[in-house]
Structure 1
Amino acid sequence: MELEKHGLHVGSVTHHELSKTLGTWQLWGIAVGLVISGEYFGWSYGWAAAGTLGFFVTSVFIAAMYTTFIFSFTELTTSIPHAGGPFAYARHAFGPFGGYVAGTATLVEFLFAPPAIALAIGAYMNVQFPDLDPKHVAVGAYLVFMTLNIVGVQIAATFELVVTLLAIFELLVFMGVVAPGFSVANLVKGGWAGQDSFSAAAIPGIFAAVPFAIWFFLAIEGVAMAAEEAKDPKRSIPVAYVSGILTLLVLAIGVMFFAGGAGDWTQLSNINDPLPKAMQYIVGENSGWTHMLVWLGMFGLIASFHGIILGYSRQIFALARANYLPHWFAEVHPRFKTPHRAILAGGVVGIAAIYSDQLIQFGGQTLTANIVTMSVFGAIVMYITSMLSLFKLRKSEPGMERPFKAPFYPWFPLFALLGALICLGTMVYYNTAVAGVFFGMLALGYLVFIAVKREREVAPLDEMLESAEELKIERQLAVKAKV
């Protein structure tokens, strides 16, 4: 058979299939839920570097980068609705090495985000119960939500939608409660990296705050990893992405302004629970509003934590199905049809990170800040490979079916690509220790990638990628026949 000459193992597709059960609302819930914890914590570390006004400049740039990225990324997601997401796009565009870089970067992003969120869950619980060890709470969160993800994607996605709606409601409550005490004077005091007015000395802080502005939107691209489980990905994913990014933009701006204007924002810039502390400036420490925020605020953290477990498990599953990781992780639970081994594997890594203070707490940053930065490194490298894949596929496969096309092409994807490159350079400069660990992990992974080359070559392609490769080769053969 002609296609087999090109290395395709037609008819020998691996049957590790996920069930198609997700609708548009559930995908929107995943899109917003994956990210919404970024509105509750993490971003305030950027105030320590840039001040409130400097961080606002950083956030506007990052918001523009994410908006153009999501509109461009949606083209890839609807064209190749695969559980591997960026891994599948880069593999299709650049071959195995491209798949390795994108897949590994995405895996780092989605493996290191959950422990940071789990530690924040522990910090929120510690506000209510001071005797509770935040790390023990974080591990308990892993056990509960790994179990929920294993039980079934339909149940998991419905739960995600519910907690996401509750999390949005709570952010609106926060803004409403602190609004009467909002003061512009509080917001702008020392707002340019510790200076009352802008000067050149504020510029380094604006750049240093990049990873924490990214935390506002980090992981929204994880919807791509649920594309294989969507009922109608070509229609529902664009709606979920576009409405999701708009929802998050409004929430991010509102939370940042109201928290900064509530009181002394410098006391909020290096903690995991800035919103309860900001509310205490207005209503006092013992107010029922503060206790309500802590409890309902947990929904935002839970939504992201739960959603990112879904994301990392699908990434591990997709990499294992393509023999980039041990194939053992590609097994689907016989009853629940979920990648249970991938879910558990990611949990082991996350729990190890929670207890790795001496390994991860370096460079003058807290454990949470370094975990956040590591996750952001993975995200930025993945954004770069995704935009490069978009440009490559537009050129090499102009006839590919594209249910959604990036608007204002090539300017939107080009802005997203350049923005991501600027972010990467900035982060390497200001986070050399974390950058060294991140790129060291990529290098070690590449040695494994080379070692298992033979296994990848003889392994059958998974069904989604096989059909795409067949179509690509058929077009090439048709062109040759005409010549």
Structure 2
Amino acid sequence: MADTPEEGLKMTLGPWLLWGMGVGLVISGMYFGWNLGLAEGGTLGLAIATGFIMLMYVTFTFSYTELACAIPKAGGAFDYADRALGKRMGFVGGMAQIVEFVFAPPAIAAAIGAYFNLYFPGVPTLGIAIGAYFLFTLLNVLGVRLATTFELVITILAVIELLIFAGVTLPHFEAKNLAINALPNGVSGAFAAIPFAIWFFLAIEGVANLAEETVNPQRNVLLGFGSAIFTLVMLCILTFLSSVGVNGWEAVVYPPDSAEPSDSPLPLALSYVVGDNSFLYHLLITVGLLGLIASFHGIILAAGRATFEFGRMRYVSSLMGKVHSKFKTPAYALVVNMLVGIVALLTGKTGEIITIACFGAISLYMISMVSLFVLRKNEPKLERPFRVPMYPVFPAIALAIATVALVAMTIYNPIIALIYFGIILVAYAYFHFFVNKSQVAKTKA
């Protein structure tokens, strides 16, 4: 469907801002959540899972960049699947993307609330989390360049924070700590750790949703996307080793005298080095909050574009396909996403919300790789400013690992899998019986 002037997004973004978005979307995964995979697989189990997931993300990113450069639209995977596989699979791919982007922020918001509550115990955690939703949704409504510039600044600070953390902890690294109870649940623990390995990199593909707002997207999306995944792989390895190498994996999962897993692995590791009352400890924890804010804000931005494209195609209310008359941002889509996210936040099920978001991500990756193969076959003359190297090996690797991950996640999280696939099924039924039939009827008329 051709855009009307009211539906067009403003092109203002360059490679630096896209790098900031790519790293910022993901960087909270370095600060919390990943350590829960240690409880499932131990050091070796999570390392195995992370190694395979890292390979998936590297090959997927190069493959996805080809799609983003050839079809620079705000819907990302939705637009690629719609063109390659038809409206039905396009809808499924778009819904998987929306589930990922809408369900990831509530988990991060809960962590932001918990961080603030450490310093302001009189303020309710839930109140802080909801307040963060309103604040960063407003920031996104006010303009994409303002939002992405803010994202770049806090992302740089969050990266510096991780480098300082590694600089403080690595002198205390001992390889023998990596071997302590390294595989507590056997090989099955590596499969159970997959969602938490995904959390290290979840939402990197959100950069593609900004292609429509990027100056010279065929060049800048590649530069932003490629540099972002390289940065994240390095940070993942550095954070994993510098955390677990201090005192073993259990020290960054369970707080002293507690059997409940913690959402703060870096503070736990740091406390073994400098104590929990030192100036450096409090400084790094305070600055570490920026990592959570960077991802929270960035995913809200990408989610707005994904929902906006659904509205623009009339797959949901056309109101969500409108842009703000003054700021030229998808304001209505951003507000609706915020309301859904707050409802999820109110459930208090952070771990389950993370896993649902991972189900959406893996489904999106699989559909996107199939779309790439189909487009290569059916549209060989489509202009592709960037072509994935080692085709078809790279997309095949990404598709194979994503398929194994989806099966493993379903086996180890059957109830959450049922909820996720139930959401997709109900949404598809709505699309089939109402949206699609209505569009067919209009075409015949």
- The answer to whether TM tops 0.5 is yes
Deviations 1:112-136 (A, max 9, x none): 1000111111122222233332222
Q: Give the distance between the partners of 2:169 and 2:357, measured in 1 at CA.
A: 31
Partner of 2:101: 110
Partner of 2:380: 398
Query: Does the residue aligned with 1:452 lie in a helix, a strand or coil?
Result: helix
**RMSD over equivalenced CA pairs, Å:** 1.5
TM-score (norm 2): 0.95
2:365·2:402 contact (CA, 8 Å) conserved in 1?
A: yes
The alpha carbon displacement at 1:14 in A equals 7.2
Percent sequence identity over aligned pairs: 47
Partner of 1:231: 215
2:147 is aligned, of 133, 143, 156, to 156
Rate the CA distance shift 1:455–1:273 in 2: closer, same or farther, 3 A.
same
Say if 2:213 is the partner of 1:222. no
Q: Give the distance between the partners of 1:287 and 1:12, measured in 2 at CA.
A: 56
Say if 2:416 is the partner of 1:434. yes
2:169·2:273 contact (CA, 8 Å) conserved in 1?
A: yes
Rate the CA distance shift 1:290–1:234 in 2: closer, same or farther, 3 A.
same
1:18·1:338 contact (CA, 8 Å) conserved in 2?
A: yes
Partner of 1:248: 232
The 5-angstrom pairing of residues 365-376 of structure 1 reads 367-376=349-358
1:128·1:291 contact (CA, 8 Å) conserved in 2?
A: no
Q: Give the distance between the partners of 1:124 and 1:232, measured in 2 at CA.
A: 39
Query: Does the residue aligned with 1:74 lie in a helix, a strand or coil?
Result: helix
Deviations 1:290-349 (A, max 9, x none): 111121111111111100001110011000100111101111111101011111101001
Q: Give the distance between the partners of 1:85 and 1:432, measured in 2 at CA.
A: 28
The 5-angstrom pairing of residues 84-103 of structure 1 reads 84-103=75-94
Partner of 1:470: none
Q: Give the distance between the partners of 2:32 and 2:16, measured in 1 at CA.
A: 25
The alpha carbon displacement at 1:447 in A equals 1.4
Q: Give the distance between the partners of 1:24 and 1:458, measured in 2 at CA.
A: 43
Query: Does the residue aligned with 2:58 lie in a helix, a strand or coil?
Result: helix
Q: Give the distance between the partners of 1:91 and 1:459, measured in 2 at CA.
A: 19
- Bigger Rg over Cα: 1
Say if 2:323 is the partner of 1:332. yes
2:43·2:179 contact (CA, 8 Å) conserved in 1?
A: yes
Query: Does the residue aligned with 1:218 lie in a helix, a strand or coil?
Result: coil
1:123·1:273 contact (CA, 8 Å) conserved in 2?
A: no
The 5-angstrom pairing of residues 40-55 of structure 1 reads 40-55=31-46
Partner of 1:481: none
The alpha carbon displacement at 1:382 in A equals 0.3
Say if 2:360 is the partner of 1:378. yes
**Counterpart AA for 2:106:** P
1:114·1:305 contact (CA, 8 Å) conserved in 2?
A: yes
1:112·1:375 contact (CA, 8 Å) conserved in 2?
A: yes
Q: Give the distance between the partners of 1:130 and 1:205, measured in 2 at CA.
A: 36
Structure 2 spans left out of the alignment, 5+ residues:
254-260
Deviations 1:144-168 (A, max 9, x none): 1001000000100100100010000
Query: Does the residue aligned with 2:419 lie in a helix, a strand or coil?
Result: helix
Deviations 1:189-238 (A, max 9, x none): 11112xxxxxxx51110000000000111100001110100011000001
Partner of 2:436: 453
Q: Give the distance between the partners of 2:385 and 2:439, measured in 1 at CA.
A: 30
**Counterpart AA for 1:179:** L
Q: Give the distance between the partners of 1:142 and 1:12, measured in 2 at CA.
A: 29
2:246 is aligned, of 262, 266, 284, to 262
Query: Does the residue aligned with 2:314 lie in a helix, a strand or coil?
Result: coil
Partner of 2:297: 306
1:83·1:314 contact (CA, 8 Å) conserved in 2?
A: yes
Q: Give the distance between the partners of 1:184 and 1:369, measured in 2 at CA.
A: 30
Q: Give the distance between the partners of 1:183 and 1:86, measured in 2 at CA.
A: 43
Q: Give the distance between the partners of 1:73 and 1:99, measured in 2 at CA.
A: 15
1:102·1:381 contact (CA, 8 Å) conserved in 2?
A: yes
Q: How many corresponding residue pairs? A: 435
Q: Give the distance between the partners of 1:157 and 1:72, measured in 2 at CA.
A: 24
Deviations 1:170-202 (A, max 9, x none): 000100111222222323211112xxxxxxx51
Q: Give the distance between the partners of 2:294 and 2:332, measured in 1 at CA.
A: 22
Q: Which runs of 4+ in 1 moved over 6 A?
A: none
Structure 1 spans left out of the alignment, 5+ residues:
1-8, 194-200, 358-366, 461-483
